[in-house]
Chain A
Amino acid sequence: MSNEKIKIRESLTLSPFFLFFLIHSSQTGIGMLSMQRDIAKYAEQDAWIGIVIAGLYLHVLFFMLFKILASSNNGDVISLHHQYFGKIFGNILSMVFVVYFFLLLLLVFRSYIEILQIWVYSIVAPWEIGLVITVVIFYIVLGGFRVIAGISFWSTLIPIILVFILGYTLKFSHFSNLQPFFNHNIKEILLSSKEGIISFVGFETVLLFFPFIKKGRSTKRWAHLGLLFTTLTYLILTVITYAFYNQGMLKYIIWPTLSMTKIVQVPFIERFEYIFIFSWLLVVMPPMCLCIWAITRSLKEMLNIKSSFSLTGILVLVNILSILLIDRDSIHFVKKATTQLSIYILFIYIPLLFLYVIVKNKIQSNKK
């Protein structure tokens, strides 16, 4: 175990300010289109409380994450695993993250294709759409981390289209749908939180890209702000959706955010939702790119595989798997598996790792 820190070249690092965009855009993606319905399954009109709870918990988790990263030699999770668990066992643990990021990537990739298929290109084969998206991802990830950060910046600005849409929905909104408040027990609300947490994930890539952010006093603050912004966006979106759709109608609507844009009526665009669906590509791009980047980075650090090779390999694999996921059921299966894995990581693994790191550091400092 070497104790010398490997420094990332100064020219490759980003100012802490970008952490805001990176965190926010790594979270928002496909989940934002359907989350409102999934969480309403348990706590119905109170499900927005679930969003708040999930957001608050993640702030605690962020605190743990940065504490963990602070005691890592290189500032990322792989070197941390090496430090505390040795080379082989550490690599096995890091491999779990690689699988996790891969599942996230596959889920976003396939879900977006599914939406395109159902809403727009019903007769085009999924692999054709996938291939086009693949080229864009390939191009962005090849550009390096700074290019991904640039895309993240834009993908934060694009959902501002939503603001205009909210204006259109207000005419048909009934905020009494949210009443009676607190009509569900804690268990139902927590189940809604659990269902909603999948829309928050993706930020775990910070475990790998953190060394690329310039260290400063405000670093953590930007990360927390990014998370807060996500939580607020989701909260507002959920409240607006529940005002627009009552719970009886919400059952029948798979992508409430997309269906909501149907109400927009502009004289020169009959169907606004098509513009919305395509501009959403920019929103789903950063989570996919960050996941791929995180995987290639991990493979390079652990097994010394050239990133260009692993990048090509992963993209081929994602395309093949997305072809194999034919119907909604199989996509749902991947979603369930990913949710389960993300819950293990967010609620069990990271808190345990945090405790382990804290205790071990204490023991070491006592020895000295």
Chain B
Amino acid sequence: MNNSTIVNIFLRKIFKFILSFILLTALAGCSRYRVVDQIKMVDIMGFEQGNNSADSKLYGGVIIHEYSMGKEEDVLTSIMSYGKSATQTLSQINQKSPNLLEIGKTQVIVLGADFAKEQGIYEVVHSICRNAKIGANLKIVISEEPLSVFFKKLTELDGNFLPHLLEQNMIHNILPESNMQTFLYNFYGIGRDAYIPYSTITREGDIVVKKLGVIDQNSKLKLLLEEEEATLIKLIQDQSKEIFFPVPIERDGKEGSITLKSLRGKSNLKSNHHDIVLLRLKLDTIILDYPEWIKLPDDYAFLEKEIKNFFKKRYQELFKKFQDNHVDPLGIGDIYRSKNKNWNEKDFYNKRYPNLKLESTIKIDILQSGVGEDTYE
């Protein structure tokens, strides 16, 4: 009994000693705090081709919020620098900043179009995605303009402009949804190629993101898809199919165009075991604008047929374009991989992919045509 009390007292002493030691360490730990006023949080980060010299292979920049200015509205500044690699460029940029840059809150990564076309994006992606601080929800975008021009435009705008622009366009508009996770999934995945939204500045000076850049096997920007083609990809890939779509129609020599709004739908891409890719698409739609020679509701059947043929033709052309350019943003290779035990990436893309045929089954339901009608029922 006596013995155990001594042990107990001894243990308590040890415990107190260690506890005080820990508290001291914890106090020492306070010397490494990072006050939010004294760091700069990067909102947007960008990379493009630098000079020819090895030390400045890359040109990069960041856009940061200046919170400490004491002003009501956001003040954005951009810092640019050259560097050997992505990380090295960031550290070069950091040298030009009075405060430490923290990249944990980065919302968009911008890649230069020429850089993506000529040098390829592998090294930048590989170095960025291995950083634990980079989130999975951030967006990637390719910029047609040089980084300095694009960043100058962005600093004139609201701080969240670009991320919100991309997000809005992905949820309610034509862009297929993509973020770091889906991009890396397509980029590293076998039997699929990645696509990245492509931004341009219009003559009026607005930033628009309508096109889609497709990255090929060599991590280079190979193909640029126009607005309509981007939408066609979105209809296959995304859950949300909430888009506007102009469809040209023709009857008895009269030509016109209707505006289709799709509300919801289902899509499915499959392979039969032969060389045919099966696309199934079902859309619930509303007709918004239509020419005067269309009489609704009598012409619903005619319109459904026209829309169906239109989609069929467009998907055929799009698939042909992918085959001609040797890219596979739809992940057709992956579909074949999951069905064949002896699938080989090289063989598939060299021999089989160019000979595949796309067969589409499209079902269009026109639910209504806005609030007005032409005739009494």
Contacts and interface: CB of A to CB of B under 8 A. Distances in A.
A128 B25 contact: yes
Contact of B135 (A138, A248, A249, A271): A271
Contacts of A183: 341
Contacts of B338: 176-177, 179-180
B239 A124 contact: no
Nearest to A182: B341
Contacts of A259: 136
Interface string A122-164: 0110001001101100110010000000000000000000000
A265 B137 contact: yes
B178 to A, nearest CB: 11
B161 interface: no
Contacts of B136: 259, 262-263
A252 B129 CA distance: 9
Interface in A166-223: 171-172, 174, 176-177, 179-180, 183
Interface stretch (B14-22, B55-63, B254-262): B14-22
A259 B337 CA distance: 25
Interface string B185-199: 101111000000000
| Chain B: interface size category | 35 or more
Interface in A218-250: 245-249
A124 B28 CA distance: 11
Nearest to B342: A183
A270 B182 CA distance: 18
A336 interface: no
A15 interface: no
Contact of B29 (A128, A180, A265, A312): A128
Given A176-B338, A248-B190, A265-B137, A138 B15 contact: yes
A119 interface: yes
Contacts of B190: 246-248
A124 B29 contact: yes
Interface residues of A, number: 36
A246 B188 contact: yes
B188 A135 contact: no
B185 A172 contact: yes
A357 to B, nearest CB: 36
A142 B25 CA distance: 22
A366 B259 CA distance: 93
B10 to A, nearest CB: 8
B137 A131 contact: no
B59 to A, nearest CB: 26
Contacts of A275: none
B188 A131 contact: no
A330 interface: no
A249 B184 contact: yes
B157 interface: no
B188 A123 contact: no
A132 B337 CA distance: 49
Interface of B: 7, 10-11, 14-15, 18-19, 21-22, 25-26, 29, 32, 104-105, 126, 129-130, 132, 135-137, 181-182, 184-185, 187-190, 239, 334-335, 337-341
7 contacts: A176-B335, A176-B338, A179-B339, A180-B338, A246-B190, A270-B135, A308-B7
